[in-house]
A = this chain, B = another copy of it.
Amino acid sequence: MTEEIQVDDHGKLKCSIDYTLNKVGGKWKLVILWHVTFDGTQRYNELRRLLPGITHKMLSQQLKELEQDGLVVRTQYNEMPPRVEYSVSEKGLTLKPVLEAMHLWGTEQGGLAGE
């Protein structure tokens, strides 16, 4: 299969894997999606807690991109102090198979436990 490789005008590869990586590639996005998908709606600071090592800037940046791509939903409550919640969108839920496959692989390959 896949004998025909799709290439655009600039010579860039256009395979579906590539497309997916462009949307959710990088160090953080899939982990963020994992949490909002399986742990449910999270506040901004809760996400910080869940993602040790992430910086302020990275988190807000990645969240903004995920929101712009329609993968997460941002809900702001105009209270004092402010409260903002992030949840997975319908579209974001379509990534569940990807998340589950990666979770399963990481688990089976010994990613967790006393290593």
Residues of A within 8 A of B (CB): 1-3, 5-7, 11-21, 23, 25-27, 30-31, 34-35, 38-39, 50-53, 94-95, 97-112
Contact = CB atoms under 8 A, between A and B. Distances in A.
Contact of A95 (B14, B26, B103, B105): B105
Given A11-B52, A18-B31, A27-B25, A104 B109 contact: no
B53 A34 contact: no
B107 A16 contact: yes
How many copies, total? 2
A81 to B, nearest CB: 25
A91 to B, nearest CB: 8
Contact of A105 (B14, B20, B52): B20
Contact of A13 (B5, B31, B105): B31
A111 B5 CA distance: 13
Given A27-B21, A111-B18, A39 B2 contact: yes
